[in-house]
Amino acid sequence: MPAWAAALSGLVAGAVALGVAQIVAGLIDPGAAPVVAVGGAMVDATPAGLKEWAIRTFGSNDKPVLLGGIVVVLALIAAGLGLLARRRTAYGTLGLALFGLVGAAAALSRPDAGVVHVLPSIAGAAAAAWTLSRLMRRAMGGDEEEYVAASRAASRATGRAADQATGATVLAAHAPAGPSSGERTRAATVGEERPALPPVMRAGGGPGTGSGSALYTFDRRRLLTGAAAGVAVAGVAGLGGRLLSGSKDAELARRGVAKMLPRAARPAAPIPAGADLRIPGLTPFVTPNAEFYRVDTALVVPSVDPARWTLKIHGLVDRPVELTFADLLKRPLTEADVTLTCVSNEVGGPYAGNARWLGARLADVLREAGVRREADMLLSVSDDGWTCGTPVDVVMDGRDALLAVAMNGEVLPEAHGFPVRQVVPGLYGYVSATKWVTEIRATRFDQEEGYWTPRGWAPRGPIKTQSRIDLPHDGDKVTTGRTTVAGVAWAQHRGVDAVEVGVDGGAWRQARLADVPGLDTWRQWSLDLDLTPGRHTISVRATDATGYTQTADELPPAPDGATGYHTITVTAR
Ligand X SMILES: Nc1nc2c(c(=O)[nH]1)N[C@H]1C(S)=C(S)[C@@H](COP(=O)(O)O)O[C@H]1N2
Q: Which residues bind Mo ion (CB under 5 A)?
A: 295, 342, 429-430
Among 174, 435, 460, 541, binds ligand X (CB under 6 A): 435
Which residue number, 338 or 365, has a Cβ lying nearer to ligand X? Answer: 338
Q: How far apart are CA 321 and CA 330, in angstroms?
A: 15
Q: Does 51 bind ligand X (CB under 6 A)?
A: no
436 binds, among Mo ion, ligand X, none (CB under 5 to 8 A by kind): ligand X
Bridge partners of 361, per DSSP, are 402
Which of 223, 250 has the CB closer to ligand X?
A: 250
The answer to whether 129 contacts ligand X (rule: CB under 6 A) is no
Cβ distance to ligand X smaller for residue 173 or 298: 298
**Sites for ligand X among residues 346-365 (CB under 6 A):** 353
**Considering the complex, what minimum distance in angstroms separates the CB of residue 44 from Mo ion?**
15
Residue 295 beta carbon to Mo ion: minimum distance, rounded to whole angstroms: 4
Q: According to DSSP H, which parts of 88-143 are helical?
A: 89-109, 119-139
Quick check: 36 and 104 in contact, CB under 8 A? no
**What is the smallest separation between the CB atom of 399 and ligand X, expressed in angstroms?**
17
Interface mask (CB under 6 A) for ligand X, residues 448-487, using x and -? ----------------------------------------
Q: Are 27 and 35 spatial neighbours (Cβ–Cβ below 8 Å)?
A: no
Q: State the Cα–Cα distance between residues 440 and 443, nearest whole angstrom.
A: 9
Question: Which residue, 304, 413, 431, is CA-closest to 357?
Answer: 413
Cβ-based nearer residue to ligand X, 135 or 412? 412
Residue from 164, 354, 382, 465 touching ligand X (CB under 6 A): that is 382
Please tell me the distance from the alpha carbon of residue 426 to that of residue 424, in angstroms, as a whole number: 6
Of 99, 292, 309, 490, the one binding ligand X (CB under 6 A) is 292
> Which string of x and - marks every residue 296-335 that binds ligand X (by CB under 6 A)?
xxx-------------------------------------
Among 184, 294, 312, 444, binds ligand X (CB under 6 A): 294
Handedness of CA 252, 255, 257, 260 (dihedral sign): negative
Residue 29: name the closest of 125, 108, 126 by CA.
108
> Given the rule CB under 6 A, which of 85-93, 432-440, 473-481, 550-558 is the region that contacts ligand X?
432-440
Helix, strand, coil content of the chain in percent (nearest 5): 40, 20, 35
Dihedral sign, Cα of residue 105, residue 110, residue 111, residue 115: negative
Cβ 131 vs Cβ 16: under 8 Å: yes
Among 386, 490, 522, 525, binds ligand X (CB under 6 A): 386
Rule CB under 6 A: is residue 125 a binding residue for ligand X? Answer: no
DSSP 8-state secondary structure symbol assigned to residue 407: E
CB 275 within 8 A of CB 518: no
Question: Of the two residues 174 and 455, which places its CB atom closer to ligand X in the complex?
Answer: 455
Point out which residues pair with 437 in neighbouring strands. Answer: 382
Nearest residue (CB) to Mo ion, 430 versus 522: 430
Closest by CA position to 466, among listed 502, 491, 445, 486: 491
Half-sphere exposure of 395 (CA within 13 A, CB side): 29
Question: Residue 354 pairs with which residues in a beta bridge?
Answer: 339
Alpha-carbon gap, residue 37 to 100, rounded angstroms: 12
Q: Which of 99, 147, 418, 436: binder of ligand X (CB under 6 A)?
A: 436
Closest approach, Cβ 454 to ligand X, in A, equals: 14
Q: Which does 11 bind (CB under 5 to 8 A by kind): Mo ion, ligand X, none?
A: none
Q: Is 109 in the site for ligand X (CB under 6 A)?
A: no
Under rule CB under 6 A, residue 289 binds ligand X: no
Q: In the complex with ligand X, which residue's Cβ is closer, 169 or 287?
A: 287
- Burial of 559 (C-beta count, 10 Å sphere; 0-12/13-18/19+): middle
Residue range at the interface with ligand X (CB under 6 A); choices 175-183, 205-213, 294-302, 327-335: 294-302
Helices 119-139 and 89-109, axial angle in degrees (round to 10): 160
The sign of the torsion formed by the CA atoms of 45, 47, 49, 51 equals: positive
35 phi-psi bin (left φ>0, alpha ψ -120 to 50, beta other)? alpha
Residue 141 vs 413, nearer CB to ligand X: 413
Q: Say if residues 25 and 106 touch (Cβ distance below 8 Å).
A: no
Select from Mo ion, ligand X, none the partner in contact with residue 490, using the beta carbon and a kind-dependent cut-off of 5 to 8 Å.
Answer: none
- By CB under 6 A, residue 429 contacts ligand X: yes
Binding segment for ligand X among 210-218, 268-276, 290-298, 463-471 (CB under 6 A)?
A: 290-298
Nearer to Mo ion, 386 or 430 (CB): 430
| Smallest separation (angstroms) from Mo ion to the CB of 46 | 13
342 lies in the site for ligand X, by CB under 6 A? yes
Q: Which is nearer to ligand X, 219 or 296 (CB)?
A: 296
Distance CA 50, CA 57 (A): 10
Q: Nearer Cβ to ligand X, position 169 or 408?
A: 408
Q: Does position 490 bind ligand X by CB under 6 A?
A: no
Give me the residue whose beta carbon is nearest to ligand X: 429
Compute the distance between CA of residue 380 and CA of residue 155 in angstroms, rounded to an integer: 72
Rounded to the nearest angstrom, the gap between the alpha carbon of residue 155 and the centroid of all alpha carbons in its chain is: 58
* Residue 287 binds ligand X (CB under 6 A): no
Chain contacts with ligand X (rule: CB under 6 A): 292-298, 340, 342, 353, 382, 386, 416, 429-430, 433-436
